[in-house]
A and B are shown apart, each in its own frame.
Chain A
Amino acid sequence: MRLKRPSIPYIIWMVVFTMIPIVLILFSAFTDRHGNFTTASFVKAFGYFDVFLKSLWIAFISTLICLILAYPIGYIMSRQKKSVQNTLTMVIMIPMWMNFLLRIYAWVTLLQNGGPIDTMLSFLGIHTTLIGNQGAVILGMVYEYLPFMVLPLYSVMAKIDNGLIEAAEDLGSGRLTVMRKVVFPLSVPGIVSGITMVFVPSASTFLVAQYLGGVDDIMIGDVIDRIFWSDNNTGSAIALVLMAAILVFLIILNFFGDEEAIA
């Protein structure tokens, strides 16, 4: 029964469908159309440096807003009766099962000129364009990934014993001190996985900016999409840089998480 053999098909599968494609990306990034070695693709990729930075910035802001919005809701959920917890978890998860494009499209409907929110605002005498700017992109991103922040935070905080919080209160801690010294340190693993689950997809997303942003608001994912079809090599180089950046981010984040957990 203690066999290793059953894992062989999956190991082969991973090599063929995960490792080889990544190696191909690597190969394609460092060669030209005819397969000769060159770093020209990276030079071209460097031309999109500002888009790259903007994507990371938008992802960072979106992650931060998700964290700020999700932390209280995760905590509130974790302090309810078990049945209320289950219901709230379901309520948070249901929108996640709606198709990703439909959720973005819903915001296009809401925010467009002459749409419901615009009409309401102009009724109040406020005339602005709600769509086609960076704010709308961030809003879409937050909407898209908020549940991915709420759920890990909630599941970590649900494990915090109420007795621990009560003990801290009995020993004279105010509500803020309890938050800072009991709840926060115990919730760090949830914060780390929440940040991972929001930052990685939002830094690499494409289409959100095409739907909600203006002409200048393209993100690095959109650039990869636009370029890859005609120029595999530059597309691969950008994809590679994106992957490397995310990897570095994850390593730093994990390091940070471990430190906190030990302290």
Chain B
Amino acid sequence: MKKLSKLYTALIIVFMYMPIVTLILFSFNNGKTTVWKGFTLRWYTDLFRDSQIISSLWNTLLVAFLASIFATILGTMAAIGINNFKGKKKIFIQNASNIEILTPDIVTGVALMLMFTMLGTAFHFKMGFVTVLLSHITFCTPYVVLNVLPRIRHMDYSVYEAALDLGCNPWQAFRKVVIHELMPGMLSGFLMSFTFSMDDFVITYFTRGSAFQTLSIQIYSMTHQRISPKINALSALLFAAILILMLIVNIKDRKAEKQQAQRV
């Protein structure tokens, strides 16, 4: 790298990480303000004693997990079907699927809220876990479709037919050939869904009703009222989790790449 490029890259990285590093530093600060008053771990112990935060963390993970599983199944099936449509119909369905991605989150949020409120008054239910889950599946599935479709297009159907000729029943052939081929696309769709669901604030905010709490909602109510160093501790822990996860994924990817390189 040339010097100027290096400097510029470094500046961008500083810009991206400075706020996060600041939060992490202040999570160890023995004081409620941004003036350094010595080292402490009390915000972390406070955090673990806060049962509301812990339960909203579980809610977040549960919604993210269920929504991305469901979105992956729904999206993969959809992609298989869409691929067999022809011409204008195919383009129409694909565009319809992309509408959800292009609609601003806030519009999706209020639109779903409007529908759930109407249905709620008609059928006597309140918004909560179920409505949040349904909304998350709605905004996650198009990303699965986007990830799986290109893989189907490049799939060779004769392999599936060969599997049938070699004595697989259709379900076995489907599992061993089609699912195997689509797996990378399904996996990246699943991961995208999971992260989008975990990170979502806006759509959850409008569809959660009054009682259901996710981590984003919890963070919102904590940061909106006053500055609490517990938030800093939470940020630090989340950041550590993300970092570890990314390192694992990256190391695995590199191993796989090396193995592939050796095979070739």
Instruction: Tell yes or no: A4 within 8 A of B by CB.
Output: yes
Q: From known contacts A5-B81, A76-B1, A201-B104, infer whether A13 and B115 are also in contact, taking CB-CB under 8 Å.
A: no
Q: When the two chains form their complex, are residues B107 and A239 in contact, meaning their CB atoms are under 8 A apart? A: yes
User: What's the Cα separation between A248 and B238 when bound, in Å?
Assistant: 38
* Number of A-B pairs, beta carbon distance below 8 Å: 218
Which residues of chain A come closer than 8 Å to B44, judged between CB atoms? none
Q: When the two chains form their complex, are residues A116 and B34 in contact, meaning their CB atoms are under 8 A apart? A: yes
Residue of B nearest to A13 (CB): B74
Q: Kindly identify, within residues 133 to 147 of chain B, every residue whose CB is under 8 Å from any CB belonging to chain A.
A: 134-135, 137-138, 141, 145
Size category, A interface:
35 or more
Instruction: Tell yes or no: A123 within 8 A of B by CB.
Output: no
Q: Kindly identify, within residues 112 to 153 of chain B, every residue whose CB is under 8 Å from any CB belonging to chain A.
A: 112-115, 118, 134-135, 137-138, 141, 145
Q: When the two chains form their complex, are residues A146 and B219 in contact, meaning their CB atoms are under 8 A apart? A: no
Q: How far is the CB of B193 from chain A (nearest CB, A)?
A: 14
Across the interface, A97 reaches (CB within 8 A) one of B81, B96, B195, B234, namely B195
Which residues of chain A come closer than 8 Å to B97, judged between CB atoms? 10, 14
Q: Kindly identify, within residues 12 to 33 of chain B, every residue whose CB is under 8 Å from any CB belonging to chain A.
A: 12-13, 15-20, 22-23, 26, 33
Q: From known contacts A3-B84, A112-B34, infer whether A24 and B78 are also in contact, taking CB-CB under 8 Å.
A: no
Q: From known contacts A115-B34, A203-B104, infer whether A95 and B16 are also in contact, taking CB-CB under 8 Å.
A: yes
Q: Kindly identify, within residues 99 to 128 of chain A, every residue whose CB is under 8 Å from any CB belonging to chain B.
A: 99-103, 105-110, 112, 114-116, 119
Across the interface, A9 reaches (CB within 8 A) one of B35, B77, B103, B234, namely B77
User: What's the Cα separation between A97 and B9 when bound, in Å?
Assistant: 20
User: What's the Cα separation between A91 and B13 when bound, in Å?
Assistant: 8
Q: Kindly identify, within residues 200 to 232 of chain A, every residue whose CB is under 8 Å from any CB belonging to chain B.
A: 200-201, 203-207, 211, 221, 224-225, 228, 232
Q: When the two chains form their complex, are residues A76 and B23 in contact, meaning their CB atoms are under 8 A apart? A: no
Which residues of chain B come closer than 8 Å to A211, judged between CB atoms? 223
Which residues of chain B come closer than 8 Å to A86, judged between CB atoms? 250, 253-254
Residue of B nearest to A106 (CB): B19
Q: From known contacts A3-B81, A73-B9, A250-B102, infer whether A228 and B160 are also in contact, taking CB-CB under 8 Å.
A: no
Contact with A along B192-203 (1 / 0, CB 8 A): 000100110110
Q: When the two chains form their complex, are residues A99 and B215 in contact, meaning their CB atoms are under 8 A apart? A: yes
Which residues of chain B come closer than 8 Å to A205, judged between CB atoms? 106
Q: When the two chains form their complex, are residues A17 and B135 in contact, meaning their CB atoms are under 8 A apart? A: yes
Across the interface, B220 reaches (CB within 8 A) one of A24, A28, A101, A108, namely A101
User: What's the Cα separation between A95 and B8 when bound, in Å?
Assistant: 18
Across the interface, B216 reaches (CB within 8 A) one of A2, A94, A99, namely A99
Q: From known contacts A4-B81, A7-B81, A98-B235, infer whether A246 and B9 are also in contact, taking CB-CB under 8 Å.
A: no
Across the interface, A8 reaches (CB within 8 A) one of B81, B174, B199, namely B81
Which residues of chain B come closer than 8 Å to A43, judged between CB atoms? none
What are 14 residue pairs bridging A and B, where the CB atoms are less than 8 Å apart in the complex?
Answer: A4-B85, A7-B82, A10-B97, A18-B100, A21-B108, A22-B103, A25-B107, A73-B12, A77-B9, A105-B235, A109-B23, A143-B19, A232-B114, A243-B104
Name B's A-contacting residues (CB within 8 A): 1, 5, 8-9, 12-13, 15-20, 22-23, 26, 33-35, 74-75, 77-82, 84-85, 93, 96-97, 99-100, 102-108, 110-115, 118, 134-135, 137-138, 141, 145, 157, 160-161, 170, 174, 178, 195, 198-199, 201-202, 206, 215-216, 219-220, 223, 227, 231-232, 234-235, 238-239, 242-243, 246, 250, 253-254
Going nearest first, the 6 A-B pairs with the smallest beta carbon separation are: A7-B81, A204-B104, A106-B19, A10-B78, A21-B111, A6-B77
